[in-house]
A = this chain, B = another copy of it.
């Protein structure tokens, strides 16, 4: 089921992230987009992918290039197909644009997000870093590509569109024996050798399977809220991703996500609260 021999080149025929997040302005501040049917888990569009669509709209309507901070609340999962994005520039300052963006399908509001955009300096250096949570990552080539189907048989078409590899030491769930550690780590690359940018980092922070895979097997873990901070312009190459659960209680789980680029720089951080059928 998990096949370490699959390689990046095999899925270059897949969609390009820049294409599946294309938006078209139809009125001032209003955009149309097509949610691609392959960027889905069990038929439902990935939440980070939807957030990236809102990021594209926010950086188009605002006066700044890079999403720095965004927080999304998920109202109703859209179907693949046509959606409309409504934006409002809440404040356009010198150093930042603050934007509200809402993804709508038909009459249904699906996702609403607040986004702060600014300019990331490509020459910025960390002034101070706690260096946590430090982890050793098994090499990209020795990590195991996640197939387009979950252990419980749910179709995850998005795994054919990106190259997502898990560290072999966090694959206990795949053998029916989750470690209980509540942590997944591995690598992420886009199709077509596309490099990451601040918008695709919004996808990267929600690309991994739930960290709860290493706790217990569950059904869908729907994201209720997702917050992402983009901290630096990512260097070309695959990203290292660490996804950690902290607490499962009252049928909710939170997860923290940390993303490093090929230079080893922390380029994005995120937290999410999701529903889960445990506890």
Q: Are B130 and A73 in contact (CB under 8 A)?
A: no
Pick the residue among B69, B126, B250, B273 that contacts A69 (CB under 8 A).
B273
Q: Are B129 and A247 in contact (CB under 8 A)?
A: yes
CA distance A256 to B255 in the complex (A): 13
Q: A73-B98, A128-B182, A128-B279 are in contact. Are A247 and B231 (CB under 8 A)?
A: yes
A 266-278 to B, binary, CB cutoff 8 A, 1 in contact else 0? 1001010100001
Pick the residue among B112, B121, B126 that contacts A247 (CB under 8 A).
B126
Q: Are A224 and B69 in contact (CB under 8 A)?
A: yes
A 242-279 to B, binary, CB cutoff 8 A, 1 in contact else 0? 00111111101010100000000010010101000011
Cβ-based interface call for A76 (8 A)? yes
Nearest B residue (CB) for A266: B247
CA distance A145 to B183 in the complex (A): 37
Contacts of A174 in B (CB 8 A): none
Cβ-based interface call for A96 (8 A)? yes
Pick the residue among B180, B227, B244, B249 that contacts A227 (CB under 8 A).
B227
A240 to chain B, nearest CB (A): 15
Q: Are B245 and A128 in contact (CB under 8 A)?
A: yes
Q: Are B128 and A247 in contact (CB under 8 A)?
A: yes
CA distance A223 to B279 in the complex (A): 34
Q: A71-B114, A73-B69, A114-B71 are in contact. Are A278 and B229 (CB under 8 A)?
A: no
CA distance A127 to B248 in the complex (A): 5
Q: A69-B73, A73-B114 are in contact. Are A269 and B246 (CB under 8 A)?
A: yes
Residues on A facing B (Cβ under 8 Å): 68-69, 71-73, 75-76, 90-91, 96, 98, 100, 109, 112-116, 120-121, 124-130, 132, 180, 182-183, 215-216, 224-225, 227, 229, 231-232, 244-250, 252, 254, 256, 266, 269, 271, 273, 278-279
Q: Are B109 and A112 in contact (CB under 8 A)?
A: no
Sampled A-B contacts (30; CB under 8 Å): A68-B252, A69-B73, A69-B224, A71-B71, A71-B72, A73-B90, A90-B109, A112-B114, A113-B114, A114-B114, A116-B224, A116-B225, A116-B273, A121-B250, A125-B249, A127-B248, A128-B180, A128-B182, A129-B247, A130-B182, A130-B245, A130-B246, A132-B246, A229-B254, A231-B249, A231-B252, A246-B266, A247-B266, A247-B269, A256-B256
Q: Are B279 and A124 in contact (CB under 8 A)?
A: yes
A234 to chain B, nearest CB (A): 13
